[in-house]
Amino acid sequence: MRIRPIFLAITLVATQAVAGSWPDGKRAAVVLTYDDTLVSQLDTAIPALDAAGFKGTFFLIGSRVTPEQIARWRSAAAEGHELGNHTIRHACPQANYSPAKKIDTSETYDVDTMLAEIRTMNTMLTAIDGKPQHSYATPCGQHLAGGVDYLPALRTSGLALYTRAADPAERPFDPMDVPTHFFPSNATGADLIAAVREAERKGGMIVLGFHGVGGDYLAVSAQAHAQLLAYLKAHAGTLWVAPFSTVMGYATSHQAH
């Protein structure tokens, strides 16, 4: 499945409601997320995160989890990495595919079908990591099924407490529509660090999104990724790096303050 590259400007996630109130007096919160169940995440991203002492969130596509990978994803979860829901088939709009692609596009779904797929993927994730609740990331950053916005139904379904989007546009804090920064494949470590520094300067939260790391598609280089992790480790006194659900749980419980 090919996904149209997303080239996004670097802007700060709008989290004024929780800015300045992170654990242990940290200045900003940083969330590292990885999409699409890619081998380079298992081979490169997770070892790099572990070496730096950080835990990421991996949004898995059910149809891409091979039997051989299950033990590796289970081990990652046991070590503290978060496994998130990215649906079973990752249905994107027809425009993201070649003209020959006619099935498993978001236009062929309806709201009930999409929610059923999210529910099924939650069951699969629970079988891997043993956890009853999982966060969600919208396929291709959109939440339409048959032309209907399914996010309102997802909000009331209880299938996900937190939903990650795929755009960085500033908006009021909403745990079911969380902005995210993706980067082009030629992004450098300095580019990634610049986004974090802006969040740190303003005292907020930033969610970073990746696909491949040093391989696969829409990949940032392993070097750029490593430089980002080195910066985060060097600034551990002011930056809180934690999985998506951990940060969102803290943010939602403290936003009133």
Average pLDDT score, the chain: 90
More confident residue, 189 or 97: 189
Considering Cα of 169, then 139, then 37, then 105, what sign does the dihedral take? negative
Taking the chain, what is the end-to-end CA distance rounded to the nearest angstrom?
43
3-state secondary structure 177-228: CECCECCCCCCCHHHHHHHHHHHHHHCCEEEEEECCECCCCCCECHHHHHHH
Judge whether residue 239 has pLDDT over 70: yes
Please, what CATH class does the domain formed by 23-254 belong to?
A: alpha beta
Q: What pLDDT does residue 12 have?
A: 35
pLDDT at 6 over 70: no
Q: Is the pLDDT of residue 32 over 60?
A: yes
pLDDT on residue 79: 98
Q: Which residues of 46-82 are buried (b: 16+ CB within 10 A; e: fewer)?
A: bebbeebebbbbbbbbbebbeeebeebbeebbeeebb
The pTM of the full predicted model, rounded to 2 decimals, is 0.91
Distance, CA of 196 to chain centre: 16
Give the Cα separation of 257 and 240 in Å (integer): 19
DSSP 63-75: GG--HHHHHHHHH
In three-state secondary structure terms, 84 is strand
pLDDT at 3: 38
230 touches 51 (CB < 8 A) = no
Q: Which two tokens stand for residue 119?
A: 């529910």
Contact 92, 139 (CB under 8 A): yes
pLDDT band of 254, cuts 50, 70, 90? confident
Q: Per residue in 214-236, pLDDT tens?
A: 999 999 999 999 999 999 999 99
pLDDT for the residue 99 = 72
Q: What is the pLDDT of residue 94?
A: 86
Residue with tokens 């802006």: 198
**pLDDT for residue 106:** 87
88-138 pLDDT, tens digit each: 999 988 887 777 666 778 899 999 999 999 999 999 999 999 999 999 999
Q: What Rg do the C-alpha atoms of the chain give, in angstroms?
A: 17
d(CA 160, CA 59): 13
Residues 6+ apart with CB under 8 A from 169: 11, 179
Domain ranges of the chain: 23-254
